[in-house]
Homo-oligomer: A and B are copies of this chain.
């Protein structure tokens, strides 16, 4: 039932995949996965149940992968002793992400998440809120164990910024007149900040100079923005099998994303009235209105241009890494950017 839209291929590598990156960090990720499993343990059986429902439903674990990868890029790795700062911070990052998803489902009243019934449907809103809080607490405990105050500062600041971004989105929700800048401020905070923090703690752990820390942060931030923009486009153009959710979820939930922002601004009075009715007033006639929305987006090239914007941030992410010498890890991180954008095809 997926609607496939023809995007022009401007990516440097349309066949890009995450395989190289995944292979380079596979040893570390095994340890991250073991850490995740052990830290969701609790005598309160509902906690591992809920946590594992989401954790085992298999996201790509892109964020913890990025922590391991940037740490390795900067030379952090097992020294004489068993160093596991990267593993613990990577697991913390994934816990922060999972906690956000659990809380998001409550906020969005979602029924599905990653192609499975949302935890809140299965165990109730209460469980989603509280298990999210538990995971956040465990994340901070792991960070404290690592003992780097700078890493703690980065990740706790990110937690506050993410929540702030979510509230911002709540406030801006249903406003079809949201500007592109306002929308970018929201996704910077609620999505890209965690990518940035995940990448920033790598060089911090490795004790690298400021310029490398800033480079990795910039890579993560721009990759995160590109990632979210592609997600926004996919929501109107992907296939349900790909994303674990159906085309048009954002539309049905009245979410204002970049494809809508662009379509609204470029549209006729009549089209604007359509967006106001469907997204602001939530008066939607399922199938027919989604088709109309897709038609308007096609007319204004809103999806193509959303991807085009993503390419811009992807290019910034690539350039951020320019100061690092050539290495397999660097190549893999660059390919990850292309992969994030190539998903849109």
Contacts and interface: CB of A to CB of B under 8 A. Distances in A.
Interface centre among A136, A156, A159 (most CB of B within 10 A): A156
Interface stretch (A164-172, A237-245, A270-278, A285-293): A164-172
A106 interface: yes
B144 A125 contact: no
Interface in A40-71: 42, 44-47
A47 B136 contact: no
Contacts of A134: 160, 163-164, 167
A160 B137 contact: yes
Contacts of A126: 106-107, 170
A149 interface: yes
A238 B84 CA distance: 53
Interface size class of A (residues with CB under 8 A): 35 or more
B106 A170 contact: no
A44 B167 contact: yes
Contact of A153 (B130, B144, B159, B168): B144
Contacts of A127: 167, 170
A188 to B, nearest CB: 13
Interface string A138-170: 101101110101001100111111111011101
Interface centre among A141, A163, A168 (most CB of B within 10 A): A163
Contact of A159 (B136, B152, B166): B136
A180 interface: no
A46 B171 contact: yes
Interface in A118-141: 125-127, 129-131, 133-134, 136-138, 140-141
Nearest to A150: B144
Nearest to A50: B167
A141 B167 contact: no
A37 to B, nearest CB: 16
B125 A141 contact: no
5 contacts: A46-B170, A47-B167, A137-B158, A137-B159, A137-B161
